[in-house]
Amino acid sequence: MTGGIAAYKAIEVVRTLAYLGAEVRVIMTPSAQKFVGTQTFTAVSGNPVATEMFSGGPEVPHVELARGASLAVVAPATANTLAKLATGAADDLLTATLLMTRCPLVLAPAMHREMWEHEATAANVATLRERGAVIVGPESGPLLSGDHGAGRLVEPSELIEAALEALGRAQDLSGMRVIVTAGGTQEPIDPVRFIGNRSSGLMGFAVASAAAARGAKVTLVVGATATAPPLGIDVLEAKTAEDMLASVRQLAPDADVIVKAAAVADFRPAHPHEAKLKKASGPPELELVPTTDILEELGKAAGVRKPGSILVGFAAEIEADPKKLGELAVAKRAAKGADLVVANDVGSTDSGFEVRTNRAVIASADGVQDAGLVSKGALADALLNEVVRLLQRSQR
């Protein structure tokens, strides 16, 4: 926090981040302490507020704070601090910490309109943006001393959203090769008919986008989907279970992470007809045979995957109760030899196929995490957090 009149609004930001489960460490500049007291922020964050660069003890606060951070948010960010960050100054605990850290940086400027519009501030903001900082706001509205214009701190909710997005963009999958399968398969009956399912591909697309945003090199193996895959991601088409198996087998030896979000048919017609079946010939008899269980092959067969890679399976279940969903996820994880299994409820109108939200649990060797009813993007990030945790463990 820096010394702006909007400093009081940071209480809400700190409170919300702490509520969301973040470990929040507040750093205040000397000017910030003229506007709000440290005691409030100690109470709201649950941690002492850091103000001193020179602790007098053996610890070096700016090093400890910088190395421990996953995300830095400056709210409010004064014109002065923006200038210091742009030039690399490090003359107080806040700027020294921010020069030291490599985590994503979110800046929420707040100041008088004249200060915001000054060429110096504009140039500093442009420099910071170019270096990858996320600038949120300012908003237009009433300002100090009866003024009006651009310069108000954004609302805490908007800042939290930007902070969460920036966290998702942490490059914790940088350099990793990730395969994501998405969509449903179509098993031919004849040249025009198939056995398919209602998978839209949205969950796999969300995982692929989130992994790419976190720095991974992603290949999407895509079956039948309701919409086009996200732009900028390599795509391999695989319409049948057999095609999907072949694509995954080809890619798996180089993959650090495989996420099997596709709904692959369990059975296919044994003998697809070469010619179109005629209605006049009456209802055909279809003999079905099992397809290869791709997840199980990846989980159990030797030499298919890169050693130390992480395998994630999905289970589509008609089950809204998180406890029972958890039991199903644990059972599937054990049966298939996957590292993680996400069991999602496909029996409700707000979850599963064709909708943007999902009710899901994630099973790992450490237990079951209930993700609740969330957007598919949020579920993708929760899943990738688990993947990163397991990758870090397997690399130790």
Ligand X SMILES: Cc1cc2nc3c(=O)[nH]c(=O)nc-3n(C[C@H](O)[C@H](O)[C@H](O)COP(=O)(O)O)c2cc1C
**Residue 18: CB minimum distance to ligand X, A:** 22
**In the complex with ligand X, which residue's Cβ is closer, 33 or 375?**
33
> Which one of residues 26, 27, 71, 79 is an interface residue with ligand X (CB under 6 A)?
79
* Three-class secondary structure of residue 212 per DSSP: helix
Please say whether the beta carbons of 236 and 194 come within 8 A: no
**In the complex with ligand X, which residue's Cβ is closer, 6 or 69?**
6
Q: Which whole-number Å values give the CA distances from 217 to 180, 253, 309, in the listed order?
A: 11, 15, 14
- DSSP type of residue 172: T
Please say whether the beta carbons of 154 and 108 come within 8 A: yes
Q: Kindly state whether residue 31 participates in binding ligand X, applying the rule CB under 6 A.
A: yes
Residue 170, token pair as written in the block: 């942490």
Q: Kindly state whether residue 32 participates in binding ligand X, applying the rule CB under 6 A.
A: yes
Q: Kindly state whether residue 80 participates in binding ligand X, applying the rule CB under 6 A.
A: yes
Q: Which residues pair with 269 in a beta bridge?
A: 288
Q: Which residues pair with 370 in a beta bridge?
A: 361
Sheet holding 105-109, edge to edge: 72-77, 105-109, 134-135
CA distance 107 to 127: 13
> Which one of residues 18, 115, 355, 388 is an interface residue with ligand X (CB under 6 A)?
115
**Residue 121: CB minimum distance to ligand X, A:** 9
CA distance 65 to 71: 11
**Among 1-9, 14-22, 247-255, 315-323, which window interacts with ligand X (CB under 6 A)?**
1-9
> Which one of residues 24, 27, 73, 81 is an interface residue with ligand X (CB under 6 A)?
81
**Residue 29: CB minimum distance to ligand X, A:** 4
Residue 58, token pair as written in the block: 């053996």
**In the complex with ligand X, which residue's Cβ is closer, 5 or 371?**
5
Terminus-to-terminus CA distance in the chain, angstroms?
Answer: 36
> Which one of residues 10, 27, 29, 311 is an interface residue with ligand X (CB under 6 A)?
29
Element (H, E) at 139: strand 139-142
**Residue 5: CB minimum distance to ligand X, A:** 4
**In the complex with ligand X, which residue's Cβ is closer, 77 or 387?**
77
271-294 in b/e form (b: 16+ CB < 10 A) is eeeeeeeeeeeeeeeeeeeebebb
Q: Kindly state whether residue 206 participates in binding ligand X, applying the rule CB under 6 A.
A: no
Q: Kindly state whether residue 86 participates in binding ligand X, applying the rule CB under 6 A.
A: no
Q: Kindly state whether residue 121 participates in binding ligand X, applying the rule CB under 6 A.
A: no
> Which one of residues 3, 183, 223, 377 is an interface residue with ligand X (CB under 6 A)?
3
> Which one of residues 16, 45, 78, 101 is an interface residue with ligand X (CB under 6 A)?
78
**Residue 34: CB minimum distance to ligand X, A:** 7
Q: Kindly state whether residue 110 participates in binding ligand X, applying the rule CB under 6 A.
A: yes
**Residue 155: CB minimum distance to ligand X, A:** 16
Total residues contacting ligand X (rule CB under 6 A)?
16
CA distance 366 to 271: 44
Active-site residue identified among 197, 344, 358, 385: 197
Q: What is the footprint of ligand X within residues 359-388 (CB under 6 A)? A: none
Is 385 tagged catalytic?
no
Please say whether the beta carbons of 233 and 209 come within 8 A: yes
Q: Kindly state whether residue 329 participates in binding ligand X, applying the rule CB under 6 A.
A: no
DSSP letters for 275-320? SPPPGGG-PPP--EEEPP-HHHHHHHSTTSS-TT-EEEEEEEES--
Q: What is the footprint of ligand X within residues 140-169 (CB under 6 A)? A: 144
CA distance 373 to 252: 31
Residue 295, token pair as written in the block: 């997840």
Q: What is the footprint of ligand X within residues 45-74 (CB under 6 A)? A: none
Strands 357-364 and 367-375: antiparallel
**Among 19-27, 59-67, 110-118, 222-230, which window interacts with ligand X (CB under 6 A)?**
110-118
**In the complex with ligand X, which residue's Cβ is closer, 96 or 380?**
96
**Among 4-12, 13-21, 240-248, 290-298, which window interacts with ligand X (CB under 6 A)?**
4-12
CA distance 384 to 378: 10
Q: Which residues bind ligand X (CB under 6 A)?
A: 2-6, 29, 31-32, 78-81, 110-111, 115, 144
Residues belonging to the active site: 197
